[in-house]
Protein backbone atom coordinates (compact mmCIF):
# COMPACT_ATOMS: atom_id res chain seq x y z
CA UNK A 1 0.00 0.00 0.00
CA UNK A 2 2.07 2.87 -1.28
CA UNK A 3 0.83 6.42 -1.31
CA UNK A 4 0.00 7.74 -4.77
CA UNK A 5 -0.87 11.16 -6.21
CA UNK A 6 1.56 14.04 -6.15
CA UNK A 7 2.82 13.28 -2.65
CA UNK A 8 5.28 10.43 -2.60
CA UNK A 9 6.13 9.70 0.98
CA UNK A 10 6.72 6.78 3.35
CA UNK A 11 3.88 5.39 5.47
CA UNK A 12 5.02 7.57 8.38
CA UNK A 13 5.07 10.67 6.18
CA UNK A 14 8.76 11.04 5.36
CA UNK A 15 8.88 12.72 1.90
CA UNK A 16 10.52 10.62 -0.83
CA UNK A 17 12.59 12.23 -3.56
CA UNK A 18 12.58 10.79 -7.10
CA UNK A 19 16.19 9.64 -6.72
CA UNK A 20 18.80 9.55 -3.93
CA UNK A 21 22.45 10.34 -4.44
CA UNK A 22 25.67 10.50 -2.50
CA UNK A 23 24.72 13.86 -0.99
CA UNK A 24 21.72 12.26 0.76
CA UNK A 25 23.90 9.88 2.74
CA UNK A 26 24.31 10.95 6.36
CA UNK A 27 27.82 11.60 7.70
CA UNK A 28 27.59 8.73 10.19
CA UNK A 29 27.21 6.28 7.35
CA UNK A 30 29.70 8.00 5.05
CA UNK A 31 32.47 7.99 7.65
CA UNK A 32 32.11 4.36 8.63
CA UNK A 33 30.57 5.15 12.03
CA UNK A 34 27.90 2.52 11.62
CA UNK A 35 30.42 -0.27 12.06
CA UNK A 36 30.36 -3.73 10.55
CA UNK A 37 27.64 -6.36 11.08
CA UNK A 38 28.02 -7.72 14.60
CA UNK A 39 29.69 -4.55 15.88
CA UNK A 40 28.17 -1.67 17.84
CA UNK A 41 26.01 0.16 16.98
CA UNK A 42 24.79 -2.89 15.00
CA UNK A 43 23.08 -0.88 12.24
CA UNK A 44 24.43 -3.37 9.74
CA UNK A 45 23.25 -6.43 11.62
CA UNK A 46 23.24 -8.13 14.99
CA UNK A 47 25.85 -10.77 14.09
CA UNK A 48 29.01 -10.74 11.94
CA UNK A 49 27.97 -13.31 9.37
CA UNK A 50 24.23 -12.95 9.83
CA UNK A 51 22.33 -15.65 7.90
CA UNK A 52 25.48 -17.49 6.85
CA UNK A 53 25.99 -18.52 10.47
CA UNK A 54 22.32 -18.71 11.47
CA UNK A 55 19.19 -18.38 9.36
CA UNK A 56 16.32 -16.46 10.82
CA UNK A 57 13.98 -18.60 12.90
CA UNK A 58 10.69 -19.55 11.24
CA UNK A 59 8.30 -18.77 14.07
CA UNK A 60 4.56 -18.82 13.36
CA UNK A 61 1.62 -18.05 15.64
CA UNK A 62 -0.44 -21.21 15.95
CA UNK A 63 -3.28 -22.64 17.97
CA UNK A 64 -6.97 -23.47 17.99
CA UNK A 65 -9.48 -25.81 19.55
CA UNK A 66 -8.51 -28.47 22.09
CA UNK A 67 -4.99 -29.12 23.41
CA UNK A 68 -4.86 -32.13 21.05
CA UNK A 69 -5.64 -29.90 18.06
CA UNK A 70 -2.83 -27.59 19.13
CA UNK A 71 -0.46 -30.53 19.53
CA UNK A 72 -1.23 -31.84 16.05
CA UNK A 73 -0.84 -28.44 14.45
CA UNK A 74 2.51 -27.92 16.19
CA UNK A 75 3.76 -31.25 14.88
CA UNK A 76 2.51 -30.41 11.39
CA UNK A 77 4.40 -27.10 11.47
CA UNK A 78 7.58 -28.68 12.84
CA UNK A 79 7.42 -31.37 10.15
CA UNK A 80 7.08 -28.63 7.54
CA UNK A 81 10.26 -27.01 8.81
CA UNK A 82 9.20 -24.48 11.42
CA UNK A 83 12.20 -23.80 13.70
CA UNK A 84 10.43 -22.37 16.74
CA UNK A 85 6.93 -22.97 18.12
CA UNK A 86 4.32 -20.57 19.44
CA UNK A 87 1.44 -21.81 21.56
CA UNK A 88 -1.41 -19.43 20.90
CA UNK A 89 -4.15 -19.53 23.49
CA UNK A 90 -7.83 -18.92 23.17
CA UNK A 91 -8.12 -15.20 23.79
CA UNK A 92 -11.41 -15.33 25.66
CA UNK A 93 -10.27 -17.71 28.35
CA UNK A 94 -6.55 -16.93 28.39
CA UNK A 95 -6.40 -13.13 28.12
CA UNK A 96 -9.07 -12.78 30.79
CA UNK A 97 -7.98 -15.80 32.83
CA UNK A 98 -11.53 -17.15 32.89
CA UNK A 99 -12.63 -20.72 33.40
CA UNK A 100 -14.93 -21.97 30.66
CA UNK A 101 -17.92 -21.86 33.02
CA UNK A 102 -17.47 -18.12 33.68
CA UNK A 103 -20.71 -16.30 32.75
CA UNK A 104 -18.92 -14.17 30.11
CA UNK A 105 -17.69 -17.35 28.43
CA UNK A 106 -21.00 -19.24 28.74
CA UNK A 107 -22.59 -16.39 26.83
CA UNK A 108 -20.20 -16.93 23.91
CA UNK A 109 -19.44 -20.61 24.17
CA UNK A 110 -19.27 -21.09 20.37
CA UNK A 111 -16.30 -18.71 20.24
CA UNK A 112 -14.23 -20.80 22.62
CA UNK A 113 -11.19 -22.25 20.86
CA UNK A 114 -11.65 -20.07 17.81
CA UNK A 115 -8.64 -17.81 18.38
CA UNK A 116 -6.32 -20.28 20.05
CA UNK A 117 -6.24 -23.41 22.12
CA UNK A 118 -8.19 -23.65 25.38
CA UNK A 119 -6.41 -24.69 28.55
CA UNK A 120 -8.11 -25.32 31.86
CA UNK A 121 -4.84 -25.91 33.72
CA UNK A 122 -1.41 -27.56 33.65
CA UNK A 123 -2.76 -30.95 32.57
CA UNK A 124 -3.79 -29.41 29.25
CA UNK A 125 -0.28 -28.10 28.74
CA UNK A 126 1.05 -31.61 29.01
CA UNK A 127 -1.31 -32.62 26.20
CA UNK A 128 -0.24 -29.63 24.08
CA UNK A 129 3.39 -30.62 24.40
CA UNK A 130 3.05 -34.39 24.08
CA UNK A 131 5.86 -35.64 21.87
CA UNK A 132 7.36 -32.13 21.52
CA UNK A 133 11.02 -31.99 22.61
CA UNK A 134 10.89 -29.07 25.05
CA UNK A 135 14.58 -29.60 25.86
CA UNK A 136 15.61 -28.59 22.36
CA UNK A 137 12.76 -26.60 20.82
CA UNK A 138 12.58 -22.80 21.00
CA UNK A 139 9.13 -21.94 22.31
CA UNK A 140 6.88 -19.01 23.03
CA UNK A 141 4.19 -20.36 25.33
CA UNK A 142 1.36 -17.84 24.92
CA UNK A 143 1.08 -15.07 27.46
CA UNK A 144 0.54 -12.13 25.14
CA UNK A 145 -1.16 -10.02 27.78
CA UNK A 146 0.62 -9.27 31.02
CA UNK A 147 -1.69 -11.10 33.38
CA UNK A 148 -1.60 -14.38 31.49
CA UNK A 149 2.18 -14.50 31.01
CA UNK A 150 3.02 -15.92 34.46
CA UNK A 151 0.33 -18.59 34.02
CA UNK A 152 1.29 -19.79 30.54
CA UNK A 153 5.02 -19.76 31.22
CA UNK A 154 4.60 -21.49 34.56
CA UNK A 155 2.66 -24.22 32.75
CA UNK A 156 5.39 -24.63 30.13
CA UNK A 157 8.20 -24.62 32.68
CA UNK A 158 6.29 -27.07 34.89
CA UNK A 159 5.93 -29.53 32.01
CA UNK A 160 9.71 -29.35 31.56
CA UNK A 161 10.30 -29.89 35.28
CA UNK A 162 7.97 -32.89 35.29
CA UNK A 163 10.00 -34.36 32.45
CA UNK A 164 13.18 -33.81 34.46
CA UNK A 165 14.51 -31.08 32.19
CA UNK A 166 16.31 -28.33 34.12
CA UNK A 167 14.85 -24.85 33.63
CA UNK A 168 18.27 -23.43 32.88
CA UNK A 169 18.46 -25.43 29.67
CA UNK A 170 15.16 -24.18 28.23
CA UNK A 171 15.22 -21.67 25.42
CA UNK A 172 12.33 -19.52 24.35
CA UNK A 173 10.53 -16.31 25.04
CA UNK A 174 7.62 -14.83 26.88
CA UNK A 175 5.76 -11.82 25.63
CA UNK A 176 3.72 -10.06 28.31
CA UNK A 177 3.25 -7.02 26.17
CA UNK A 178 1.94 -3.62 27.22
CA UNK A 179 1.00 -2.64 23.66
CA UNK A 180 -1.30 -5.62 23.34
CA UNK A 181 -2.77 -5.34 26.82
CA UNK A 182 -3.31 -1.62 27.10
CA UNK A 183 -3.16 -0.14 23.59
CA UNK A 184 -4.06 -2.49 20.75
CA UNK A 185 -6.51 -4.84 22.36
CA UNK A 186 -7.72 -3.28 25.59
CA UNK A 187 -10.03 -5.79 27.20
CA UNK A 188 -12.19 -6.10 30.25
CA UNK A 189 -10.73 -7.24 33.58
CA UNK A 190 -7.03 -6.69 33.01
CA UNK A 191 -4.69 -5.99 35.92
CA UNK A 192 -3.65 -2.31 36.17
CA UNK A 193 -0.45 -1.27 34.29
CA UNK A 194 1.49 -0.80 37.55
CA UNK A 195 0.75 -4.40 38.50
CA UNK A 196 1.74 -5.52 35.00
CA UNK A 197 5.08 -3.77 35.43
CA UNK A 198 5.59 -5.65 38.68
CA UNK A 199 4.72 -8.95 36.95
CA UNK A 200 7.23 -8.25 34.20
CA UNK A 201 9.98 -7.23 36.61
CA UNK A 202 9.33 -10.44 38.56
CA UNK A 203 9.70 -12.41 35.32
CA UNK A 204 12.92 -10.55 34.50
CA UNK A 205 14.37 -11.26 37.96
CA UNK A 206 13.29 -14.90 37.84
CA UNK A 207 14.82 -15.55 34.42
CA UNK A 208 18.00 -13.59 35.21
CA UNK A 209 18.56 -15.89 38.17
CA UNK A 210 17.54 -19.20 36.64
CA UNK A 211 17.01 -19.18 32.90
CA UNK A 212 19.85 -17.66 30.90
CA UNK A 213 18.43 -18.81 27.54
CA UNK A 214 14.93 -17.49 28.14
CA UNK A 215 13.74 -14.01 27.10
CA UNK A 216 11.25 -13.21 29.88
CA UNK A 217 9.44 -10.33 28.17
CA UNK A 218 9.27 -9.29 24.56
CA UNK A 219 8.15 -5.75 23.83
CA UNK A 220 5.88 -6.02 20.82
CA UNK A 221 6.19 -2.98 18.61
CA UNK A 222 4.09 -5.00 16.17
CA UNK A 223 1.06 -4.60 18.40
CA UNK A 224 1.58 -0.82 18.48
CA UNK A 225 2.14 -0.61 14.73
CA UNK A 226 -0.81 -2.78 13.76
CA UNK A 227 -2.94 -0.66 16.08
CA UNK A 228 -2.03 2.51 14.19
CA UNK A 229 1.37 3.78 15.38
CA UNK A 230 3.68 4.77 12.50
CA UNK A 231 7.26 3.58 12.08
CA UNK A 232 8.98 6.15 14.29
CA UNK A 233 6.19 6.09 16.87
CA UNK A 234 6.62 2.31 17.01
CA UNK A 235 10.36 2.62 17.61
CA UNK A 236 10.11 5.51 20.07
CA UNK A 237 7.48 3.84 22.19
CA UNK A 238 9.20 0.42 22.20
CA UNK A 239 12.33 2.00 23.66
CA UNK A 240 10.31 4.12 26.08
CA UNK A 241 8.83 0.84 27.29
CA UNK A 242 12.27 -0.78 27.55
CA UNK A 243 13.50 2.17 29.63
CA UNK A 244 10.67 1.58 32.13
CA UNK A 245 11.75 -2.06 32.47
CA UNK A 246 15.42 -1.21 32.91
CA UNK A 247 14.78 1.59 35.39
CA UNK A 248 12.30 -0.59 37.27
CA UNK A 249 14.72 -3.49 37.51
CA UNK A 250 17.55 -1.16 38.56
CA UNK A 251 15.38 0.40 41.25
CA UNK A 252 14.84 -3.05 42.75
CA UNK A 253 18.59 -3.39 42.97
CA UNK A 254 18.59 -7.17 42.64
CA UNK A 255 20.92 -7.34 39.64
CA UNK A 256 23.32 -5.09 37.75
CA UNK A 257 22.05 -3.89 34.38
CA UNK A 258 24.56 -6.02 32.45
CA UNK A 259 23.00 -9.15 33.95
CA UNK A 260 19.38 -8.55 32.98
CA UNK A 261 19.47 -6.34 29.88
CA UNK A 262 19.68 -9.35 27.56
CA UNK A 263 16.19 -10.30 28.68
CA UNK A 264 14.80 -6.94 27.60
CA UNK A 265 16.70 -6.65 24.31
CA UNK A 266 14.62 -9.18 22.40
CA UNK A 267 11.76 -7.24 20.84
CA UNK A 268 9.41 -7.48 17.91
CA UNK A 269 8.51 -5.11 15.13
CA UNK A 270 6.11 -5.12 12.22
CA UNK A 271 6.96 -5.02 8.55
CA UNK A 272 4.35 -3.78 6.12
CA UNK A 273 4.25 -3.10 2.39
CA UNK A 274 6.39 0.04 2.75
CA UNK A 275 9.50 -2.06 2.47
CA UNK A 276 12.19 0.62 2.35
CA UNK A 277 10.92 2.33 5.48
CA UNK A 278 10.63 -1.02 7.25
CA UNK A 279 14.15 -2.11 6.34
CA UNK A 280 15.45 1.24 7.61
CA UNK A 281 13.34 0.85 10.76
CA UNK A 282 15.02 -2.40 11.78
CA UNK A 283 18.48 -0.91 11.14
CA UNK A 284 17.65 2.24 13.13
CA UNK A 285 16.22 0.15 15.98
CA UNK A 286 19.50 -1.64 16.57
CA UNK A 287 21.42 1.62 16.63
CA UNK A 288 19.05 3.36 19.03
CA UNK A 289 19.24 0.42 21.47
CA UNK A 290 23.02 0.16 21.33
CA UNK A 291 23.50 3.93 21.78
CA UNK A 292 20.92 4.08 24.57
CA UNK A 293 22.52 1.29 26.60
CA UNK A 294 25.95 2.84 26.23
CA UNK A 295 25.11 6.46 26.88
CA UNK A 296 22.37 6.16 29.48
CA UNK A 297 23.31 2.99 31.31
CA UNK A 298 27.06 2.95 30.78
CA UNK A 299 27.22 -0.59 29.42
CA UNK A 300 30.56 -1.16 27.74
CA UNK A 301 30.48 -4.90 26.95
CA UNK A 302 29.59 -4.79 23.26
CA UNK A 303 27.76 -8.13 23.30
CA UNK A 304 25.21 -6.67 25.71
CA UNK A 305 24.34 -3.85 23.33
CA UNK A 306 22.91 -6.13 20.68
CA UNK A 307 19.20 -5.89 19.93
CA UNK A 308 17.62 -9.12 18.66
CA UNK A 309 14.55 -8.68 16.52
CA UNK A 310 11.52 -10.81 15.75
CA UNK A 311 9.32 -9.57 12.91
CA UNK A 312 5.66 -10.23 12.31
CA UNK A 313 4.25 -9.20 8.94
CA UNK A 314 1.30 -6.81 9.12
CA UNK A 315 -1.89 -8.79 9.68
CA UNK A 316 -3.99 -5.72 9.02
CA UNK A 317 -2.61 -5.51 5.47
CA UNK A 318 -3.99 -8.94 4.66
CA UNK A 319 -7.20 -8.34 2.72
CA UNK A 320 -10.52 -10.12 3.01
CA UNK A 321 -11.01 -9.73 -0.71
CA UNK A 322 -9.01 -12.09 -2.96
CA UNK A 323 -7.11 -13.77 -0.10
CA UNK A 324 -4.52 -15.46 -2.33
CA UNK A 325 -3.11 -12.01 -3.12
CA UNK A 326 -1.96 -12.03 0.50
CA UNK A 327 0.64 -14.69 -0.31
CA UNK A 328 2.35 -12.05 -2.42
CA UNK A 329 1.96 -9.44 0.32
CA UNK A 330 3.37 -11.86 2.88
CA UNK A 331 6.36 -12.51 0.66
CA UNK A 332 7.11 -8.83 0.19
CA UNK A 333 6.83 -8.13 3.92
CA UNK A 334 8.99 -11.16 4.73
CA UNK A 335 11.60 -9.91 2.28
CA UNK A 336 11.68 -6.57 4.09
CA UNK A 337 12.24 -8.35 7.40
CA UNK A 338 15.15 -10.36 6.01
CA UNK A 339 16.73 -7.35 4.31
CA UNK A 340 16.43 -5.50 7.62
CA UNK A 341 18.26 -8.33 9.41
CA UNK A 342 15.59 -9.96 11.56
CA UNK A 343 16.45 -12.92 13.83
CA UNK A 344 13.07 -14.58 13.52
CA UNK A 345 9.93 -14.14 11.49
CA UNK A 346 6.24 -14.93 11.44
CA UNK A 347 4.33 -14.37 8.22
CA UNK A 348 0.60 -13.71 8.59
CA UNK A 349 -1.65 -16.29 6.98
CA UNK A 350 -3.22 -15.37 3.65
CA UNK A 351 -6.59 -16.02 5.28
CA UNK A 352 -5.84 -13.61 8.17
CA UNK A 353 -8.91 -11.42 7.48
CA UNK A 354 -11.19 -14.46 7.48
CA UNK A 355 -10.01 -16.72 10.29
CA UNK A 356 -6.99 -18.05 12.10
CA UNK A 357 -4.73 -19.86 9.63
CA UNK A 358 -5.89 -23.05 7.96
CA UNK A 359 -3.23 -25.74 7.71
CA UNK A 360 -2.70 -24.70 4.10
CA UNK A 361 -2.30 -21.02 4.95
CA UNK A 362 0.10 -21.96 7.75
CA UNK A 363 2.16 -24.05 5.37
CA UNK A 364 2.33 -21.20 2.87
CA UNK A 365 3.68 -18.87 5.59
CA UNK A 366 6.46 -21.37 6.18
CA UNK A 367 7.08 -21.99 2.47
CA UNK A 368 7.40 -18.24 1.80
CA UNK A 369 10.23 -18.11 4.31
CA UNK A 370 11.90 -21.30 3.14
CA UNK A 371 11.88 -20.15 -0.48
CA UNK A 372 13.50 -16.88 0.55
CA UNK A 373 16.07 -18.76 2.64
CA UNK A 374 16.87 -21.57 0.22
CA UNK A 375 16.29 -20.29 -3.30
CA UNK A 376 17.63 -16.74 -3.19
CA UNK A 377 20.99 -15.35 -2.14
CA UNK A 378 19.44 -13.43 0.73
CA UNK A 379 21.41 -15.52 3.22
CA UNK A 380 24.75 -14.96 1.52
CA UNK A 381 25.49 -11.34 2.38
CA UNK A 382 24.88 -9.41 5.60
CA UNK A 383 23.05 -6.09 5.31
CA UNK A 384 22.80 -6.28 1.52
CA UNK A 385 21.27 -2.80 1.27
CA UNK A 386 23.90 -1.13 3.45
CA UNK A 387 25.31 1.83 1.59
CA UNK A 388 22.16 2.39 -0.45
CA UNK A 389 21.67 6.16 -0.63
CA UNK A 390 17.97 5.75 0.11
CA UNK A 391 18.26 3.19 2.92
CA UNK A 392 21.03 5.06 4.73
CA UNK A 393 19.06 8.29 4.45
CA UNK A 394 15.85 6.71 5.79
CA UNK A 395 17.70 4.92 8.59
CA UNK A 396 19.12 8.23 9.77
CA UNK A 397 15.81 10.06 9.43
CA UNK A 398 13.88 7.37 11.31
CA UNK A 399 16.45 7.36 14.10
CA UNK A 400 16.07 11.13 14.45
CA UNK A 401 12.28 11.07 14.46
CA UNK A 402 12.13 8.07 16.82
CA UNK A 403 14.39 9.75 19.35
CA UNK A 404 12.18 12.85 19.20
CA UNK A 405 9.11 10.72 19.86
CA UNK A 406 10.89 8.94 22.69
CA UNK A 407 11.78 12.30 24.22
CA UNK A 408 8.17 13.44 23.93
CA UNK A 409 7.02 10.34 25.84
CA UNK A 410 9.67 10.80 28.52
CA UNK A 411 8.78 14.48 28.92
CA UNK A 412 5.19 13.58 29.61
CA UNK A 413 6.06 11.11 32.34
CA UNK A 414 7.20 8.01 30.49
CA UNK A 415 5.71 5.07 28.69
CA UNK A 416 3.32 3.77 31.33
CA UNK A 417 1.98 7.24 32.07
CA UNK A 418 1.40 7.71 28.35
CA UNK A 419 -0.49 4.42 28.17
CA UNK A 420 -2.44 5.07 31.36
CA UNK A 421 -3.81 8.46 30.30
CA UNK A 422 -4.67 7.29 26.78
CA UNK A 423 -2.19 9.56 25.00
CA UNK A 424 -0.47 6.79 23.08
CA UNK A 425 -3.81 5.18 22.29
CA UNK A 426 -4.99 8.43 20.74
CA UNK A 427 -1.84 8.57 18.60
CA UNK A 428 -2.66 5.07 17.36
CA UNK A 429 -6.28 6.07 16.74
CA UNK A 430 -5.14 9.04 14.65
CA UNK A 431 -3.00 6.69 12.58
CA UNK A 432 -5.89 4.29 12.14
CA UNK A 433 -8.34 6.96 11.08
CA UNK A 434 -5.86 8.36 8.62
CA UNK A 435 -5.22 4.93 7.11
CA UNK A 436 -8.93 4.15 6.85
CA UNK A 437 -9.54 7.56 5.24
CA UNK A 438 -6.70 7.07 2.79
CA UNK A 439 -8.03 3.68 1.71
CA UNK A 440 -11.54 5.10 1.43
CA UNK A 441 -10.36 7.99 -0.74
CA UNK A 442 -8.07 5.83 -2.84
CA UNK A 443 -4.99 7.71 -1.71
CA UNK A 444 -3.71 4.36 -0.52
CA UNK A 445 -4.23 1.76 -3.16
CA UNK A 446 -5.05 -1.82 -2.27
CA UNK A 447 -5.29 -4.23 -5.17
CA UNK A 448 -8.57 -6.11 -5.31
CA UNK A 449 -10.10 -3.76 -2.73
CA UNK A 450 -10.06 -0.19 -4.02
CA UNK A 451 -8.18 -0.68 -7.29
CA UNK A 452 -8.68 -3.35 -9.94
CA UNK A 453 -11.54 -5.06 -8.09
CA UNK A 454 -13.27 -7.93 -9.82
CA UNK A 455 -16.05 -10.09 -8.50
CA UNK A 456 -15.13 -13.68 -9.21
CA UNK A 457 -15.59 -16.70 -6.98
CA UNK A 458 -12.34 -18.15 -8.36
CA UNK A 459 -10.57 -15.86 -5.88
CA UNK A 460 -12.50 -16.95 -2.80
CA UNK A 461 -11.11 -18.96 0.10
CA UNK A 462 -13.01 -20.98 2.68
CA UNK A 463 -12.63 -19.62 6.20
CA UNK A 464 -10.95 -22.11 8.54
CA UNK A 465 -13.59 -23.24 11.02
CA UNK A 466 -11.48 -25.18 13.51
CA UNK A 467 -13.86 -27.11 15.74
CA UNK A 468 -17.38 -26.08 14.87
CA UNK A 469 -20.29 -25.41 17.18
CA UNK A 470 -19.65 -25.73 20.89
CA UNK A 471 -17.25 -28.66 20.70
CA UNK A 472 -14.20 -26.94 22.15
CA UNK A 473 -16.26 -25.48 24.95
CA UNK A 474 -17.94 -28.80 25.76
CA UNK A 475 -14.61 -30.63 25.75
CA UNK A 476 -13.04 -27.98 27.99
CA UNK A 477 -16.01 -28.20 30.38
CA UNK A 478 -15.38 -31.92 30.67
CA UNK A 479 -11.69 -31.42 31.38
CA UNK A 480 -12.45 -28.71 33.96
CA UNK A 481 -14.95 -30.93 35.75
CA UNK A 482 -12.45 -33.76 35.80
CA UNK A 483 -9.73 -31.43 37.11
CA UNK A 484 -11.98 -30.29 39.95
CA UNK A 485 -12.93 -33.83 40.90
CA UNK A 486 -9.54 -35.49 40.74
CA UNK A 487 -7.19 -32.99 42.38
CA UNK A 488 -6.34 -32.57 46.03
CA UNK A 489 -8.68 -29.76 47.08
CA UNK A 490 -6.59 -28.92 50.14
CA UNK A 491 -3.40 -28.65 48.14
CA UNK A 492 -5.04 -26.44 45.52
CA UNK A 493 -6.56 -24.19 48.14
CA UNK A 494 -3.27 -23.79 49.99
CA UNK A 495 -1.50 -22.89 46.76
CA UNK A 496 -4.11 -20.25 45.95
CA UNK A 497 -3.94 -18.78 49.46
CA UNK A 498 -0.18 -18.63 49.05
CA UNK A 499 -0.63 -16.91 45.67
CA UNK A 500 -2.89 -14.25 47.19
CA UNK A 501 -0.45 -13.62 50.04
CA UNK A 502 2.41 -13.29 47.55
CA UNK A 503 0.44 -10.89 45.37
CA UNK A 504 -0.14 -8.79 48.44
CA UNK A 505 3.57 -8.73 49.30
CA UNK A 506 6.73 -7.62 47.53
CA UNK A 507 7.87 -11.18 46.94
CA UNK A 508 8.45 -12.52 43.47
CA UNK A 509 5.20 -13.81 42.06
CA UNK A 510 6.53 -16.56 39.83
CA UNK A 511 7.22 -19.31 42.43
CA UNK A 512 3.67 -18.88 43.75
CA UNK A 513 2.15 -19.21 40.27
CA UNK A 514 4.34 -22.26 39.57
CA UNK A 515 3.09 -23.85 42.81
CA UNK A 516 -0.52 -23.06 41.96
CA UNK A 517 -0.44 -24.58 38.46
CA UNK A 518 1.40 -27.62 39.83
CA UNK A 519 -1.31 -28.00 42.47
CA UNK A 520 -3.87 -28.13 39.62
CA UNK A 521 -5.35 -24.70 40.18
CA UNK A 522 -7.44 -23.79 37.15
CA UNK A 523 -6.76 -20.82 34.91
CA UNK A 524 -9.88 -19.10 36.30
CA UNK A 525 -8.82 -19.59 39.91
CA UNK A 526 -5.48 -17.96 39.20
CA UNK A 527 -7.25 -15.10 37.42
CA UNK A 528 -9.66 -14.74 40.31
CA UNK A 529 -6.74 -14.40 42.72
CA UNK A 530 -5.21 -11.66 40.56
CA UNK A 531 -8.48 -9.75 40.34
CA UNK A 532 -9.19 -10.11 44.03
CA UNK A 533 -5.84 -8.69 45.15
CA UNK A 534 -4.89 -6.32 42.34
CA UNK A 535 -8.20 -5.06 40.98
CA UNK A 536 -8.88 -4.11 37.38
CA UNK A 537 -7.66 -1.51 34.95
CA UNK A 538 -10.13 1.04 33.63
CA UNK A 539 -9.24 1.87 30.02
CA UNK A 540 -9.12 5.60 29.24
CA UNK A 541 -11.96 6.88 27.06
CA UNK A 542 -10.58 7.04 23.56
CA UNK A 543 -13.54 7.73 21.34
Partner 1 sequence: MPRVLIAKTSLDGHWRGVNVVARALRDAGFEVILGGEMRASDIAVVAEQEDIDLIGLNVGGRVEVAERIIATLSDAGLGDIPVFAGGTLPSSGIERLAQLSVQCFPPGSSLKEIVSAAVELTQVDPLDKK
Per CB under 8 A, does 128 bind partner 1? no
Rounded Cα–Cα distance for residues 521 and 489 (Å): 9
Q: Which residues sit opposite 15 in a β-bridge? A: 9
Per CB under 8 A, does 543 bind partner 1? yes
Instruction: Please give the residues from 325 up to 354 whose contact with partner 1 meets the rule CB under 8 A.
Output: 353-354
Per CB under 8 A, does 456 bind partner 1? no
Stretch touching partner 1 by CB under 8 A, among 60-68, 186-194, 300-308, 500-508: 186-194
Per CB under 8 A, does 406 bind partner 1? no
Q: How many residues are there in the chain?
A: 543
Per CB under 8 A, does 458 bind partner 1? no
Interface with partner 1 (CB under 8 A), residue from 297, 320, 389, 423: 320
In which order are the strands placed within the sheet that holds 344-346? Answer: 214-215, 171-173, 138-141, 84-87, 57-60, 344-346, 308-313, 266-271
Alpha-carbon Rg for the chain, nearest whole angstrom, is 23
Rounded Cα–Cα distance for residues 394 and 430 (Å): 23
Question: Helices 423-441 and 231-252 sit at what angle, rounded to 10 degrees?
Answer: 160
Q: Which residues sit opposite 447 in a β-bridge? A: 451
Q: In degrees rounded to 5, what are phi and psi of residue 225?
A: -65, -45
Give whichever of 319 and 393 is closer to partner 1, judged by the CB atom.
319
Per CB under 8 A, does 446 bind partner 1? yes
Interface with partner 1 (CB under 8 A), residue from 6, 27, 79, 107: 107
Stretch touching partner 1 by CB under 8 A, among 42-50, 294-302, 456-464, 518-526: 456-464
Among residues 326, 228, 224, which one has the least CA distance to residue 285? 224
| Number of other CB atoms surrounding residue 517 within 10 Å | 28
Per CB under 8 A, does 429 bind partner 1? yes
Interface with partner 1 (CB under 8 A), residue from 7, 9, 48, 104: 104
Per CB under 8 A, does 220 bind partner 1? no
Stretch touching partner 1 by CB under 8 A, among 102-110, 133-141, 363-371, 396-404: 102-110
Instruction: Please give the residues from 494 up to 523 whose contact with partner 1 meets the rule CB under 8 A.
Output: none
SS3 122: helix
Least distance to partner 1, CB of residue 314, Å: 12
**Taking a C-beta distance cutoff of 8 angstroms, is the pair 73, 82 a contact?**
no
Per CB under 8 A, does 407 bind partner 1? no
Least distance to partner 1, CB of residue 112, Å: 9
Stretch touching partner 1 by CB under 8 A, among 47-55, 101-109, 212-220, 336-344: 101-109
Give whichever of 20 and 320 is closer to partner 1, judged by the CB atom.
320
Residues 6+ apart with CB under 8 A from 196: 146, 147, 176, 178, 181, 182, 190
Per CB under 8 A, does 462 bind partner 1? yes
Interface with partner 1 (CB under 8 A), residue from 21, 433, 481, 538: 433
Per CB under 8 A, does 167 bind partner 1? no
**Taking a C-beta distance cutoff of 8 angstroms, is the pair 251, 204 a contact?**
no
Per CB under 8 A, does 279 bind partner 1? no
Stretch touching partner 1 by CB under 8 A, among 51-59, 120-128, 296-304, 431-439: 431-439
Least distance to partner 1, CB of residue 44, Å: 35
Per CB under 8 A, does 463 bind partner 1? yes
| Number of other CB atoms surrounding residue 274 within 10 Å | 25
337-351 burial: b if 16+ Cβ within 10 Å, else e: bbbbbbbbbbbbbbb
CA dihedral 218, 223, 229, 235 (to 10 degrees): 20
How many CA atoms lie within 13 Å of 370's alpha carbon, on the beta-carbon side? Answer: 13
Residues contributing to the site for partner 1 (CB under 8 A): 91-92, 95-96, 103-105, 107-108, 110-111, 114-115, 184-188, 227-228, 316, 319-321, 353-355, 429, 432-433, 436, 440, 446, 449, 460, 462-463, 469, 542-543
Amino acid sequence: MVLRNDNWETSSGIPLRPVYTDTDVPDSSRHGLLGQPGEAPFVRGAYPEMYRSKLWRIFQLSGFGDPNDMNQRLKFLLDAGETGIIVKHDRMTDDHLYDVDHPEIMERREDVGLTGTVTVGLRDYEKILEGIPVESVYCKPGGGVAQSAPYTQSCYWSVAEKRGIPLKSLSGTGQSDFFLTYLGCPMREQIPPEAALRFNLDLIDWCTERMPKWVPVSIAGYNGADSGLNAYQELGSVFANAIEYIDGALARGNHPVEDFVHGIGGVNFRTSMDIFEDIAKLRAARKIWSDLLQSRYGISDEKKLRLRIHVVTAGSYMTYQEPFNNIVRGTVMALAAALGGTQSLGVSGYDEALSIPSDHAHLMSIRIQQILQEETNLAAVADPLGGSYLIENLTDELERRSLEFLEEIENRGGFIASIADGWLMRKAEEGNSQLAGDIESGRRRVVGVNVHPIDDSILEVEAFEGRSGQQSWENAMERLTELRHTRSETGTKQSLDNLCRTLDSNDNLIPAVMKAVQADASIGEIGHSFRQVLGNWTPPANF
